[in-house]
Amino acid sequence: MIEHALAQVEKDWGAGMVAGAAGELAKNTHAFEILVGPYAVAHLRISEAIRAHGGTVPKDGLPVYLTDTLESPNADAPAGGIFSKSLTDEHKRAIRIKREVQVLVCMGNPPYDREQAEDPANPTPVAQRKGGWVRFGDREAQKGRAGKKVADKGEDQSSEDASDEGILKDFLAPAKAAGQGVHLKNLYNDYVYFWRWALWKLFENPKAAGPGIVSFITASSYLRGPGFVGMRQKMREAFDELWIIDLGGDNLGARKTPNVFNIQTPVAIAIGIRHDKPQPLTPAIVRYTRVDADSREAKLEAIAKIGNFANLEWQDGFSDWMRPLLPQGEGDYYDWPLLTDVFPWQHSGVEYKRAWPISESREVLEMRWKALISAKSQDRPGLFRETSDRLVSKAYMSMLDEGERLPAIATIKADSDAENISQYSLRSFDRQWMLVDGRTCSRPRPPLWLSDSSQQIYITSHLAGVLGLGPAATVASFMPDRHHFCGRGGKDVVPLWRDAEAMHANVTAGLFDMLSTEYLKPVTPQDLFAYAYGLLATPHYVERFSEELTVPGPRLPLTRDKALFDEAAQLGRQLIHLHTYGERFIPNGGKAGQVPQGSARLNIAIPDTSAGYPEAYEYDPATQTLRVGIGEIGGVGKDVFEFSVSGLDVVKSWLGYRMKKRAGRSSSELDKIRPDRWTTQMSQELLQLLWVLEQTLSRYPQMADLLDRIVAGPLFRADELPQPDAAQRKPPGRTEVEAEPVQPGLAGF
């Protein structure tokens, strides 16, 4: 920083001014460092830079202090002996600067490390709760918090903090009031504490407040995360102008981009400016830009070329207090209702935490079950792959009957049959088989089973993270896996019904009546569900609202136009019928399980023998041929083979699970029990997958055009629609299921 500043002085004012500037920088640049190593290096490098440019190091040393920035400005410096007197004196100077010295510019790269929950299955001592004075205030900060355990449960974690005097409460309280308390766990992060401290230091400290600039490069989660609404409000209050340079760099989510640092977390530079006037009564003016590149080197090169703000193309950001620090984008996207406010109950999908109870074949699951219960008692735990929540020595509830407790696997006889085997929606467009047994599944999700039936339909999406390219949602007719949508993510299953009898729709109360009145016709749960799917199942939705969707949770453009609603609902019904392989929304005169034939055809059969079981596959785009072992399927378009859902390559994933050596993790010897041959049924299922994807792609232009026409027309705003209450968001229970059903959409008809 010093080197760059002096180089800029020389460039703008000439070499004759550099020495004087170096001396001034040496006196007026204050730095805090908590680690001894970086502290010593900072002293050395700054001294060298000052002397190299003709400056003089102050007699009492550089203003670089070994101190904790987040320590209270009201603390007393610790008493020290003769050998630590200089550090004690330095500590006193650091406290004085925090408390009394006005700062014009605060800049840095604060650490970012979110405080994590302790694993109950593997408890370890928690050394210290972070945040210091910012989080706990003077009263709590001085008590010492070593060894306290932290519950990483969102709002619950802040229950203790709500009554203390820490200034972090100014970020927390508005978020709670806005209904985002469940997301507050994300604010317990080092970089958030430093942001709060910087705002206090420059603009709120009663002894040293004034105009100023804060410039930090930190994790970028505060730009868009729902839990950061209070932080964004406080930043808009503190500044007159706020300039955001989004550097991307997410290496964990669906939209992977190179990072300027060797980390997985996306980062952003923020420059906040407060002029010499009272705290603004209107939100700060937000400007946003993004630096994109194909590699880290290219991104760093692009950043190095930025000489001033005029070198970047800026977009106007939102002006509302709590809105994301992002460009306003197209239309009124953020005024639309969230999908989760239309269908208020969402649930995590089923999670086994072991691979062997899932297979592409019913017969394989029967063999694995027999191998497990026929094994010696001492071998069963290893074969089973025990976890803290599933042990062979314990009894567990049935997944199909809440009132039935199944005997421990360790006690059952070798001739016992598996409780139940059923089809399972493992991944988007990939239906496999599951062992429906509460003893084998760590997270069976009882509410989903309570509402499961031959009429149930599930939309799956990535509701808590950033959507990647491809459709924004897919659909399942069988019980979905937690990672069904794209191979990762949780709490992403949206059922149509709250009960197995399909009498209680998972739709916000009052919405059907409002829509029925608007369209002058009854609206059914199936209509609304199909409408939503007709818009979300196209990649055009993700492409058009790419920037807006970096804020987790898709929104639904709900038209006021009856004809457009009917068109989208009809298209959605067709897609659901197609994507459930003909199991749902069967048209009049149709048969369940029918899939319209496409171009893909089996030119050379995949051998139905043990020796001919495929070990690999390959695709030739020139001839549009998919080779599976020695078999060949022609007429497979490149776009069909490369069809993806938010990073999940659908055909590759489907084939990978069915090769001789199965893709994915293996945690038990039971996983090695595999099909001994590739059957004709498997070839037919592969052809059906290819036909479904081909038919889907053929509808994309129609879907894109329909979405554009809906967005261009009159839409409902979220604040015009009924909002779900806590009861509607809760998973269904027996009492609700047995209650009298409510007929939707019939008011006034």
Rounded CA separation 268/228 (Å)? 15
Among candidate residues 121, 28, 135, 26, the one with its CA nearest the CA of residue 71: 135
Distance from the first to the final alpha carbon of the chain = 71
Q: What is the pLDDT of residue 451?
A: 95
- Residue-averaged pLDDT of the chain: 86
Cα dihedral across residues 523, 528, 529, 531: positive or negative: positive
Quote the DSSP letter at residue 356.
T
Q: What is the pLDDT of residue 15?
A: 57
The predicted-structure confidence for 297-310, as pLDDT tens digits, reads as follows 999 999 989 988 99
Rounded CA separation 161/372 (Å)? 49
Q: What is the pLDDT of residue 122?
A: 43
Dihedral angle, C-alpha 119, 129, 125, 152, nearest 10 °: -10
Rounded CA separation 411/419 (Å)? 15
Give the rounded distance of the alpha carbon of 405 from its chain centre.
36
Span 106-113, average pLDDT: 88
| Sequence letter at residue 409 | I
322 pLDDT above the threshold of 70: yes
The predicted-structure confidence for 414-455, as pLDDT tens digits, reads as follows 989 998 999 999 999 999 999 999 999 999 999 999 999 999
Span 677-689, average pLDDT: 97
The predicted-structure confidence for 567-612, as pLDDT tens digits, reads as follows 999 999 999 999 999 999 998 877 888 899 999 999 999 999 999 9
Quote the DSSP letter at residue 124.
-
| Sequence letter at residue 607 | P
Among candidate residues 436, 498, 488, the one with its CA nearest the CA of residue 460: 488
Weakest mean pLDDT among 203-217, 388-402, 505-519, 543-557: 543-557
pLDDT band, residue 4 (cuts 50/70/90): low
655 pLDDT above the threshold of 60: yes
Q: What is the pLDDT of residue 688?
A: 98
Span 275-291, average pLDDT: 86
pLDDT band, residue 737 (cuts 50/70/90): very low
Contacts of 399 (CB under 8 A, 6+ apart): 420, 436, 437, 438, 441, 444, 446, 449
Rounded CA separation 247/266 (Å)? 7
Which ranges in 146-260 belong to alpha helices (H)?
169-177, 190-199, 229-238
Span 311-337, average pLDDT: 85
Q: What is the pLDDT of residue 3?
A: 58
Residue 637: exposure state from Cβ atoms within 10 A (0-12, 13-18, ≥19): middle
Span 678-686, average pLDDT: 96
Weakest mean pLDDT among 97-106, 334-343, 541-550, 728-737: 728-737
The predicted-structure confidence for 195-218, as pLDDT tens digits, reads as follows 999 999 999 998 888 899 999 999
Cβ neighbours around 24 below 10 Å, total: 12
pLDDT band, residue 150 (cuts 50/70/90): very low
Q: What is the pLDDT of residue 490?
A: 58
Q: What is the pLDDT of residue 29?
A: 80
